[in-house]
Amino acid sequence: MSRPDTLFDVDDSAAGNLSFQNFGSTTIQPDLPSGRISPNASPHVRANEQLYSAEQRIGGTIDGATKSGGVLNLDFYSGWFDVDTMTVLTRCYKTLIPKEDYVSEVLAGVPDLYGPFWVPSTLVFSLFLTSSLWSSINAYLNDVEYAYDFTRLGAATSVVYTYCLGLPVVMWAAIKYWASASERSPVEIISLYGYQSTVWILVAWLTLIPIAPLRLFLAFLGTLLSLFFLTRNLYPILSNAPNVSARLLIVVATVLHLIFAVALWWGFMAGGSGAFDGKKLKDVAGEIGTGIGGGIDGDGMRWKW
């Protein structure tokens, strides 16, 4: 019998059936998916899961790239610069006596980017200093006031870095995708081109000798030595490449090296003021045809062959 002061009147027989029930995941489907989507899930749930998965993939990629060893972390590149001074000097010296396979025996599977960067950088400053010294000597002998021209520093940087650091990347891509030879990494090709400029540092300073035939002979010797070093290490790769026509890369490498040698000689080592004294690069390009044939006498330019 119910009491007047109660809100609910429950039968005593039904009270014994009251108990907590266990509603597991098998009876109620969650609104937000966890893991794989059920085939019967609604389109709204599928769209949310696809966006969530894409976010996970992007986040995982960025996280993996920024962790140690990722391409966006400086630690990824630190291994290429982990080299001591004696090793760099030894690798420079070995380019002057190219009697072994440089990559397998000298680099020995541990190429670096420290030497291939600093050796060309040293060459840039050597070209600038020696050519400026020649200009100052000529100005002194002719009783002319001399001022440093930093145009030649920019020209040396463009020529040397393009050949020693830019060209090796293009050469590696041609070897890999045209010749179908993948046994050499891009760092190893950069090492070949970077360390070969060692001989040009020596030639740049030796061309301060005031004997024109000797300067020309030293430049010619440096050209042959550096060219022999490059072809000796590039030809075995291309000779065994599946694509036989890719052997033309040796001819291309030879022609580009000769152009590089002529640019160094004509612009910086020939003696006198050099081709870049007080000139812009576009002006120098228009004088190549007349400049290679012999001496040039003009305003700000005086060559001694």
For 137-182, what is each residue's pLDDT tens digit?
877 777 777 777 778 899 999 999 999 999 999 999 999 898 888 7
**Cα 190–chain centre separation:** 7
In the predicted structure, residue 29 carries a pLDDT above the cut 70: no
Helices (H), the chain: 12-15, 43-66, 74-78, 85-96, 114-141, 151-161, 167-177, 186-196, 198-206, 212-239, 248-264, 281-285, 288-291
Q: Supply the pLDDT for residue 245.
A: 85
Nearest to 115 by CA among 201, 173, 196: 196
Q: What angle do the packed helices 114-141 and 85-96 form, to 10 degrees? A: 70
- The predicted model gives 109-122 an average pLDDT of 91
Q: Where are the domains of the chain?
A: 26-66, 84-302
Question: Phi then psi for 113, rounded to 5 degrees?
Answer: -110, -5
How many alpha carbons fall within 13 Å on the CB side of residue 19? 4
Residue-wise pLDDT tens digits, 225-251: 999 999 999 998 888 888 888 889 999
Residues 282/273, Cβ–Cβ less than 8 Å: no
Residues 230/258, Cβ–Cβ less than 8 Å: no
Confidence band of 183 (pLDDT split at 50, 70, 90) = confident
Between CA 239 and CA 246 the distance in angstroms is 9
Nearest to 50 by CA among 30, 65, 41: 41
Q: Supply the pLDDT for residue 228.
A: 95
Residues 102/229, Cβ–Cβ less than 8 Å: yes
Q: Supply the pLDDT for residue 7.
A: 52
Between CA 83 and CA 9 the distance in angstroms is 88
In the numeric block, the tokens 């972390």 are attached to 73
Give the percent of the chain with pLDDT over 70: 62
